[in-house]
């Protein structure tokens, strides 16, 4: 796939309601690639992944547990266009958009991958278990190892317990050597 065409993609019906395709940003050959679920309102308006409240929490946890700044890693989502009302992406939408995600991983060649939430854990590592079972587990995308954790929006809803679990998952990633 030609990644220069991603900003113009109309392969699923999410293109009808989005303001823009949120491609992702960061260095090539990054030490870490972070994959979220889908853009929310802030991201659909701003054009960058994880710039809203969830993103701020995630960026802080990654800094505190891994010592990486936002500019040190690549950030994207499993689904590149905002679902209406921030609903969970449909399986068909995630399956269609996955081709872009796989092309991005192939082209960026990250050393490690962190997925946040169910949709990304499935798209990247193929985990069929929900995130309450799959978090903290080592995954592989082709030959690239990584870890799945909760979505920071879950931590904002559920509070400090989920934040603590996310910190522990990030330490699994640190032990892998990020």
Residues near ligand URA (CB under 6 A) are 36-40, 43, 49-50, 52, 54-55, 77
Question: Which of residues 9 and 134 has its CB atom nearest to ligand SF4 in the complex?
Answer: 9
CA 145 from centre of chain: 15
- Separation CA 135–CA 129 (nearest Å): 9
The helix (run of H) or strand (run of E) holding residue 75 is strand 74-77
Q: Does 94 bind ligand SF4 (CB under 6 A)?
A: no
- Interacting residues of 171 by C-beta distance below 8 A, sequence separation 6+: 65
Convert residues 33-62 into a mask of x (bound to ligand SF4 by CB under 6 A) and - (unbound).
Answer: ------------------------------
Distances, alpha carbon 127 to alpha carbons 6, 16, 46, 48, 107, in Å:
25, 29, 30, 26, 23
Min dist. Cβ of residue 36 to ligand URA (A): 3
Only one of the segments 48-56, 77-85, 106-114, 132-140 lies at the binding site for ligand SF4 (rule: CB under 6 A); that segment is 77-85
Q: Which residues bind ligand SF4 (CB under 6 A)?
A: 9-12, 14-15, 21, 79-81, 93, 96-97, 100
């Amino acid at each position: 796939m030609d990644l220069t065409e991603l900003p113009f993609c109309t392969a699923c019906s999410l293109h009808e309601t989005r303001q823009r395709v949120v491609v992702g940003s960061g260095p090539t050959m990054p030490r870490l690639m972070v994959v979220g679920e889908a853009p929310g309102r802030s991201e659909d308006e701003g054009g960058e992944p994880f710039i809203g409240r969830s993103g701020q929490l995630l960026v802080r946890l990654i800094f505190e547990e891994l010592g990486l700044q936002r500019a040190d890693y690549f950030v994207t989502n499993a689904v590149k266009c905002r679902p209406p009302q921030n609903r969970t992406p449909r399986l068909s939408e995630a399956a269609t958009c996955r081709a872009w995600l796989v092309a991005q991983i192939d082209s960026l060649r990250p050393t490690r991958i962190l997925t946040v939430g169910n949709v990304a854990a499935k798209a990247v590592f193929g985990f069929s278990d929900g995130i309450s079972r799959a978090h903290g587990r080592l995954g592989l995308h082709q030959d690239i190892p990584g870890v799945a954790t909760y979505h920071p929006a879950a931590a904002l809803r559920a509070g400090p317990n989920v934040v603590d679990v996310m910190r522990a998952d990030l330490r699994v990633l640190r032990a892998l050597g990020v």
